[in-house]
Structure 1
Amino acid sequence: MTAPRATYEVDGAAIRRRRMERGIQIADLARTAGITSSYLSRLETGVRRQMRPPTYTALRASLGIKADDDQLLAHGEPNTE
């Protein structure tokens, strides 16, 4: 039996690109996703690359990305560590 996935490794540039395409300010996206602007900024710049599943789900939903679309993941798959 495998353990639940602890974190997702995200592609910060993909997050930023999607946010910019949608014309959303960083503070607005952070508020909608339930995270801080500084956390979102660290994700976009690659300083931080790991997200817990509920946070990743909220960010993806805030960007209008479908549940089965993992375009924000760094390698297309969740980190199993």
Structure 2
Amino acid sequence: MAQTPTTFEVDGTAICTKRMNAGMEVQQLADQVGITANYLRKLERGVRTRMRPGHYQALRAALDANDTDLLRTPHSPPERK
């Protein structure tokens, strides 16, 4: 039986794009996911790249996204802004 990963490596640029396309502010999405706006900003900027399963699933649901939309591919380093 496959085990759930302890963290998910996310693509911050994709999160930001999906959030903006959904017309959401950082605070609004952070509240829906159950994380701080500061943490979400760090994810979007690539300062942080990992999320715990519960928060990642909440992010997927809030953005109506799937793993292909939000997870980093192995060959794409996080963008630092």
TM bucket normalised to smaller: 0.7 to 0.9
What is the match of residue 22 of structure 2? Answer: 22
> Matched residue of 1:23: which SS?
coil
Aligned Cα RMSD in Å? 1.7
CA separation in 2, counterparts of 1:32 and 1:56?
Answer: 11
Q: Once the 2 structures are TM-superposed, how far is the Cα of residue 75 of structure 1 from its aligned partner?
A: 1.5
What is the match of residue 79 of structure 1? Answer: none
Mapped pair 1:55 → 2:48: no
TM-score after normalising by structure 2: 0.82
Q: Once the 2 structures are TM-superposed, how far is the Cα of residue 4 of structure 1 from its aligned partner?
A: 3.8
% identical equivalent positions: 48
Structure 1 unmatched ranges of 5 or more: 77-81
Runs of 4+ with >6 A deviation = none
**1:20-78 superposed Cα distances (whole Å, 9 cap, x missing partner):** 1111000000001111000100000000001111110001111122xxx21100018xx
Structure ranking higher on relative contact order (CA contacts 8 Å, 6+ apart): 1
Structure 2 unmatched ranges of 5 or more: 75-81
CA change 1:32–1:75 in 2 (3 A) is: same
Which has the larger helix fraction? 2
> Matched residue of 1:31: which SS?
helix
